[in-house]
Structures are given as C-alpha cells and as structure tokens.
A and B are shown apart, each in its own frame.
Chain A
Amino acid sequence: MNELIYFFNYVVVAGSVTGSIYAMGAIGVTLIYSILRFAHFAHADMMTLGAFLVLLLTLLFPHAGEPLGLPTAVVMLPIAMVLTSLAAVGIDRVFYQPLRNHGVKPIVLVIASLGVTLMLQGLIRLFSGTGAQSLYVDARKEIFRLEVPGVTRPIILTEPQIILFVVTIASVIALHLFLTRSRLGKAMRAMSDNPDLARASGINTRLIVTLTWVIAGSLATLAGTLLSLDVAFKPDLSFFLLLPIFAAAIVGGVGHPFGAVAGGFLVGFAETLAVFNWSVLLRPLRDSLPSWIELPNNLALVGTEYKIVVPFFILIAVLIWRPTGLFKGKVI
C-alpha cells in the first residue's frame, strides 16, 4: 500500500498540479488564437508577469492575508489580475493592433509576440534579479498530512495545491458559463467563428478583442501565481511553460477552450508519468518475478533533465497523426 500512496503523492497530485497550470495557460493561448488568429508566444511571460506583480504586492503588504486566513499572495491575486489584464490590453494596443491594421501575415504577429516575450523577460529580470523567491514572504506554507488507515506513509497535500484545484475548477466552470450563457460570451464565440460576419451583425469586435486579453491575462496571472506559490517565483518560469502550454493547446485542438483543459491535463500527466520511477511500484513484486529479470533501480522513461522532451514529442505526435487536435480544432 505504501507504494500506492507514493504513487498518489508523486503522480496523481503532482500531475494534477502541473495539469491545472498548463490547462489555464492553454485556455489563454487558445482563446487568443481563436479571436486574433495568431500563436501568442508571450503568454508564458504574461504568466510570469502576473506572478511577479503578486510578488511585488506581497512584499509591499506582507500581512494583508492574515485577517482572511489565506496566504497574502492569494488575497493580492485580484489586484494583480487587473494589472496584468491592463498590461495585456496595453501591449495589444501599442504593438499588435497597428500590425493587425496593416494587414500583416499572422506569422509577423508571431514574431512580434516573440519581441514582447523578450521585453517582458528583460523587464522582469531587471527588477527582480535572476534568483528564485518564495511568495510566502512572512508566513509558512501549510502542509496537510492525511493518514490512511493501515499505511505508514501519509497522503501529502499543501495549501497552495488545494487553492489551485479550487481555483482551476471554479475558473473553468465560470468560463463555460460565460461562453455559453452570456451575450458577450456568445458574441465572442461568434467572432471566433467568423469575424467578418460578427462585425456585420453589429458585434463590437474591439470590445471582444479587449475582453479576450482580459480573460487571458487574468487566467495567466492565476496560473503563474499558483505555480509560484507551489514552488517559488523564478524569472525564467516562462521557459519551462512555453512548450507545454502550446502542446496542450494543440493537443486539445486550437480554438477549443475545453480541449485546452483536457490537453493541459494530458500533457501534465504525461510529464509526471514519464519522469516517475516505475521501479518503485514494481519493487513489492520483486520476489515473485522470474530470476532472469533483473529490476534496475531507475525505471523512469526520461530523466528529469529531459522533461522538456515529453511535451515536444506529444506535439510532434499530434502534428503527425491528428493535426486538428483531439477535439477537432479550427484552422490548420
């Protein structure tokens, strides 16, 4: 049983954590793609920006969370979400909109987003330095140990992980309700379907574009902050996020928000399963195995240093066999 608990702690919990983060990032990528028709490479840096703003606010007011019984960083989230959304809309107005008005090819917008990536990275590192910093400035991370009867090893969950699961579920449900029930959400879907027709039927496309950036910016802040809460804030966070969130968006079918959620969890679990050392699970069976099979100590599919290979191969596999993604995304 101990091995199963170990499996639960290191695969189910860890996979859900990474999966939730990737899912929230991939939703943003997929929404921007379906409205503006380009792959937004600065998205992972927007996640870092959101987390960085939370870090700044937490450093300014380290005790704001105490009356509510939550970590200060979580209390600061709404403010940072507003600020990141403003930044996202500002970047769009200053850099992307003029290019769109010139009618450039989508690939030029992709290059522009790479430029934005560099600008954001430079800014964040200029102010934060290059080291890692904990978002728990003046507090301690709470760790819950759930004892399972009959087993020595407890199930371990931390406070940020629980907050992350709650926030992910809440935001996915909220997004679903928004897209299917509200007028604006329906207008958004209409625009993703056919921008010209949407404009002709009186939908304010500028408002929709702004709204897309607000939703994407807010989700990016949530994901970036909760990831930094779980581990620590690093200025090069985006580097580890970019490939997985794009793989997730493409696996789920570009332009398909729920596909992005599924893709996010798929990529997250694939990564965790690939670096998991399977010989831990096989160890209890060692005595019953035939003698010619020798159980190596390390049965992980890839070493942790090659984690980045996993989303890449998922991406390649999807591009070869099903370029539209699992849920039949939009344009190829």
Chain B
Amino acid sequence: MTTPQHSSSRPTVPTRELVLFGGLIVVVLGVFFAMGGAYATRMLVEAACYAILALGLTIQWGYAGQFNAGIMGFVALGGFSATFFSIPVNHDFWSSDLPGRLGGVLLAIVAAIALVVAVSRIDRLGVPKLARTLITILVGLIAYLVVISWLREVTGDIESQVDFIGGLGLPVWVGWIVGGLLAGGVGYLIGHICLGLRADYLVIATLGIAEIIKAFLKNSDWLTRGTATISPLPWPVPSPGEVGFITARALYLSVTVVMIAVIFFLLHRAYHAPWGRMIRAIRDNEVSAAAMGKSINRRRQEIFVFGCVLMGIGGAALTSFTGIFDAQGYLPLNHTFLVLVMVILGGPGNNLGTLFGAVLVYVIWIMSGPMALALAHFVAELGGMWFDWQPGNMDSQALQARVFVIGLLILMVLRFAPRGLIPEKVAHHD
C-alpha cells in the first residue's frame, strides 16, 4: 500500500490537491446554479454527513487495513439513537403500567444472562465439563424461551395500546453522542471476536451484524414503529419552518462542517503522533510491529471501535437531517458501498483525499439519479422511433443501472488507482 516517496526538504506547492479541490468547487458551484440554492445546500449537508462516515472508514481501512462491510448497520444505530433521544415524549406510554412491565422484562433479561453465566461456571463445583455444557445449553434455552415470551407479550401490548414508546425529548446532540457510543459498543463486540482472525472474517461478520441491526429496527414496531416510520425529527438548529429552507440548511451545514473540522484536526494529530505511526507499522508489517512490542490486537480493537463511533455519529447526523426514521431506508448500496467508493477513490489513509472523495462521489451519486432517468427516457424514445419498441417501467430499472456503475467503479479504482486520487503521503524521517 505504501511505496516510498522521496519528499524534498523544502515544502512544495501541493499542485494535485489544489487542482482537484478547485475542480470540486467548480462542480459544486455548477450544481448550485443549475439546481438552485436549496437543493445545493441539501446536497452539501448530506455530503458532509457522508464525509464523517468516510472518515470513519478511512481510519479502519486506510490507517489499519481493516475492512468494514457493515457501515449501514452503524449508520442505522446512530440514526435510531438520534431519533429515540430527540423525538417528543409519548405521555400515554409513561402514564400507563407499561414502562414498569417493560422494565421488569429488561431486568428479567439481565437476570437470565446472570443465571446462564452462573450455570456455565458450575464445573468449578466439581460437575463434569460435558454435563456443565449440556446443563448450560438447556438452562439457556429455557431462560431464553421464557424471557422472549414475556417480551413478546409486553411489546404486543405496547403496540396495541400506545402505538410505540416514543422518545425522550432531549436535545439532538445527546442522541448523536449516544449513537456514536452505541455504534462503538457494537464495534467492540464484533472486533473482539474477529480482529484476531483473518481479515475476511471481519467482512462477513460486519455484513451480518448490519443486516441484523436493520432487521431488529425494522421489526421492533414497539420501539421504532417499524415500517410506519417516525417523522419529523428535530434539528439541532432552527427548523426550515422558522427561518426558511436555505438558512436552516446552511445552519445545519455549519454544524456538520464544525464537526468535520474537529474530527479532521484530531485525526491529523493522531496520525502524525506516535500512535499513528504505530498503527501504520501494524498495517504494513504486523510481524515486526509485534517484535517491537506493540500490542497488535489491542491497537486494532481501538481503531475499529474509533471508526465505528464516527460512523454512528455520522449516521445520526444524516438521519436527523433527513427528518424521518425509516429502518427500511438503510440500504447496503447507499450506506455501505457508496462510502466505500468515497474512501477508495479519494485516497484511503489520507484524510484530505477522503473528504475530497466524499464530496465528489456524493455529487456524482445525487446527480446520477436524474441523469440515469433522462438517459433511460432518451433511449426509450429512440427505441420507440426506430423499432417501435415499448419498454415497460424503465424508471426503476434505470436506477438499477447505478448499482452496476458503483460496482464497476470499485473494480476500476482497485485496478487502475489502487491508492486513490490523493494518495496517502508517508513521511520519511531521515
């Protein structure tokens, strides 16, 4: 991943970065004038949220060579947390006996876990190991069935009596921070299991956990209203109804830009600190890093959790901005593979490159929808003129073409620009 670059002693003008960012600004201005200010600011806010996700992935993949294929799951967790903390309190729920019953079931879950852990230790009392394993499995199964049937009963009552449990009515940023922590917690569990093994296993496990998180959020009607979706979500800044679309979105944009600036600064410091050098040493030569006495698994764990926290925060900001929590709206294509393309195209391991890739790819992505539709209509028209061909519903199929293009783009970048447009610069200390 790193070929030595002989940097001269005096600083040179970063031509490549200047040209690329200049081009990007021209493109953004073009969208601004073509589609109007409200559209362009919306696009920029979403691009900024994606940039936070992309910075999360660039830490994992660029700094440490861990590939996370479940960004969608962490985004959904962050989005759920932002929703749960910020939407108004459901007074019907809190004034009924349901919170007590739900709390009772949650306590029962804790008790059941404690029971199973206790039973799994009875070999210390002299019970044979095989018997211990069998008893543990049996106790676990029964405890699981009992607890899950209680939970089903309570959640069914919540759905039929008060719709769903509502939110906490706290400021939005609390939800964003907790979203980051939740995502980090899930990342810790996954990393703890998979990071000592081959990198492929991490990919499978993250893919799986993302789908499980989505399935849970989609089917837990008592918590998230499931397919009925929750909207509107409050913003951390004045809403469009109070100050107008463009101003509200510009305020939101400034919040996300400040977040990116803080994250960027911290990452920059971390990357050039001894910690960053240690991470790169582990990535590039695990054996010698281990020989230097670096704790490989612990560093990997740190960096994976750190990336997941950023993904949770980015996902929370994105969901709050969208204004609607819809678990089915989290798609692997939009929330995992798009971020992947941003990072590998921009330059894994280079924060500036990642930012560039995030904005560029998001602009292309958002504009490709209308362009694909226009192209489809054009082709259909030509077909109708020349061959008397009547295509069916071209619109949904034209959007499928974008899936193909994203896949092709990933393969092309890996083949022809494996280090991205703005490659990672490795400093040399002679």
Partner-B contacts on A (CB < 8 A) = 38-39, 41, 95, 98-99, 102, 104-108, 110-112, 114-123, 125-126, 129-130, 242-243, 246, 250, 296, 298-299, 301, 303, 305-306, 308-309, 311-312, 315-316, 319-320, 323, 331-332
Contact = CB atoms under 8 A, between A and B. Distances in A.
- Give me the 4 closest cross-chain CB pairs, A-B, nearest first: A122-B404, A118-B407, A115-B410, A122-B403
Contacts of A104: 414, 418
B145 A301 contact: yes
A308 B410 contact: no
Contact of B402 (A114, A122, A315): A122
B411 interface: yes
B397 A114 contact: no
Contacts of A115: 407-411, 414
B144 A308 contact: no
Contacts of A39: 200, 203-204
Interface centre among B197, B198, B218, B393 (most CB of A within 10 A): B198
B333 interface: yes
B380 to A, nearest CB: 14
Interface centre among A98, A122, A250, A319 (most CB of B within 10 A): A122
Interface stretch (B25-33, B43-51, B111-119, B209-217): B209-217
B204 A246 contact: yes
Interface string B380-415: 000000000000110011001111111111110011
B134 interface: no
B69 interface: yes
Given A122-B405, A125-B403, A108 B205 contact: no
B205 A118 contact: no
6 contacts: A38-B200, A111-B344, A111-B410, A118-B404, A119-B411, A323-B197
A308 B411 contact: no
Given A129-B397, A316-B205, A319-B194, A95 B404 contact: no
Interface in B248-275: none
A117 B144 contact: no
B371 interface: no
A222 to B, nearest CB: 23
A107 B397 CA distance: 31
Given A111-B410, A112-B414, A309-B212, 15 more contacts: A99-B415, A107-B203, A108-B418, A114-B337, A118-B337, A119-B411, A121-B403, A122-B400, A125-B403, A243-B207, A243-B211, A298-B149, A305-B215, A305-B219, A312-B205
B208 interface: yes
B107 interface: no
Nearest to A308: B211
Contacts of B216: 306
B94 interface: no
B402 A332 contact: no
Contacts of A332: 197-198
A120 B219 CA distance: 29
Contact of B215 (A112, A309, A331): A309
Contacts of B418: 102, 104, 108
B155 to A, nearest CB: 12
B193 interface: yes
Given A111-B414, A130-B396, A123 B404 contact: yes
A119 B197 contact: no
A107 B200 contact: yes
Interface of B: 65, 67, 69, 144-145, 149, 152, 193-194, 197-201, 203-205, 207-209, 211-212, 215-216, 218-219, 333, 337, 340, 344, 392-393, 396-397, 400-411, 414-415, 418
B193 A320 contact: yes
Nearest to B408: A119
A86 to B, nearest CB: 19
B411 A306 contact: no
Nearest to A41: B203
Contact of B67 (A110, A119, A122, A319): A110
A122 B401 contact: yes
A168 B408 CA distance: 34
B59 to A, nearest CB: 16
Contacts of B396: 129-130
Contacts, number: 139
A120 B201 CA distance: 23
Contacts of B144: 301
Interface centre among B201, B396, B406 (most CB of A within 10 A): B201
Contacts of B414: 99, 104, 108, 111-112, 115
A107 B65 contact: yes
B207 A306 contact: no
A251 B99 CA distance: 41
B207 A112 contact: no
A308 B219 contact: no
Contacts of B415: 95, 98-99
Contacts of B201: 250, 319, 323
Contacts of A320: 193
Contacts of A242: 207
Nearest to B149: A296
A120 B415 CA distance: 18
A158 to B, nearest CB: 28
Contacts of A126: 397, 400-401, 404
B337 A316 contact: no
B198 A118 contact: no
A316 B204 CA distance: 10
B208 A308 contact: yes
Interface centre among A38, A98, A118, A299 (most CB of B within 10 A): A118
Interface centre among A106, A123, A126, A242 (most CB of B within 10 A): A126
B65 A116 contact: no
A254 B67 CA distance: 20
A26 to B, nearest CB: 13
Nearest to A109: B414
Contacts of B194: 319
Given A39-B204, A41-B203, A105 B403 contact: no
Nearest to A95: B411
